Amino acid sequence: MVDQVRKAASLTSVLSDEAFRVLTASVSLVPRFMNIPHSSLVRSTYLPEDRVCYAEEMLLKNGLFAREKGGYRVTMLGLDTLALHTLVRKNLLSHVGIPIGIGKESDVYEAIDNVGKAVALKLFRIGRISFRSVAKKRPYNSSQGHKWLLSSLKSAQREERILKQLEKFHLRVPKCIGRAYHAIVMEMKMGIPLYKVRRLDDADAILMKVLDAVRDVYQKAGVVNSDLSEFNILITPEHEIVLIDWPQAVRSDQRSAEELLKRDINNIVTYFRKKFRISIDVNDAIAYCKGEGFNRKIGYFAKSRKVRSSRLRQAL
């Protein structure tokens, strides 16, 4: 997949404007067709038929199209190439670097924007897990058309919307800079995923910071991550935390929100108990995040965390 992104980046400077015009039209037709007919591309692009034919051959030759019965299918390489091309034209991207996170549903790369600033590029890859599983977890999947591309496109749209909503409240999440198709450009947040951390001298303080972040997102923005785990919590060099991956987020007024919040908190409390031997009552943690009074146990935990953090700062 890394080689695919490099190939996509190289193709952005190789393909003709006509080829990109045909590719753009193809992606716009993805929701309507299992396989995109040649006649629909001719009508959508307003190009002479011979130019459309030539562009189709170029896209096939480079692996951006796959020939299917009755038409063409846009490949993930095709979607990658179009997304990178669009981000470059929007002046949001100039260079793609090394991967910094390969997940079950997305890849994240170091990248450079048009003024030389480091950013993170996230490309959704929903097809890595079974479509049946995806359909159970998300309401926006279609059983028709290019199902994997549609799922990746919808995931990116959803995450962009959630991140922009959370940005208004200055919460501990990445800032979304822009999106093109299934690709999102975000501010670079340097950190290590929690699951990769072997030892934490201030594990209790980190747990409290996670609960504080969940509480702020829930109470200030009215949002529940609904997929929170040690895999989407970053710890920065300053031992701050950043919550990432929001395509499955739900509003707090949705029927399932409370159960999803409880599941998120239980995941985190259980992980800290098993990995770092930090134990607090999950019901106390849930009550704290929901704002149902100031639980005495959580209050003591928070107070202890502040004292330790203060002493650590003095020692440094």
Residues carrying an active site annotation: 227
Q: Is 230 exposed, middle or buried (0-12, 13-18, 19+ CB in 10 A)?
A: middle
Q: CA dihedral in degrees (100, 87, 94, 18; nearest 10)?
A: 130
- 95 phi and psi, to 5 degrees? -155, 140
Pair type for strands 176-180 and 106-112: unpaired
Q: What angle do CA 182, 160, 257 make, to 5 degrees?
A: 115
Q: What angle do CA 224, 207, 255 make, to 5 degrees?
A: 20
Smallest CA-to-CA distance from 292 within 258, 316, 266 is with: 258
User: What is residue 254's three-state secondary structure?
Assistant: coil
| Six token digits for residue 115 | 């003024």
H-type alpha helices, the chain: 2-11, 17-29, 38-45, 49-61, 76-89, 131-137, 147-167, 203-216, 257-276, 282-290, 296-315
User: What is residue 113's three-state secondary structure?
Assistant: coil
The DSSP element (H or E) to which 95 belongs, if any, is strand 95-102
Long-range contacts of 50-58 (CB under 8 A, 24+ apart): 51/18, 52/18, 52/22, 54/18, 55/16, 55/18, 55/19, 55/21, 55/22, 55/23, 56/22, 58/15, 58/16, 58/19
Euclidean distance between CA atoms 131 and 112, whole angstroms: 33
Residue keyed to tokens 């496109």:
153
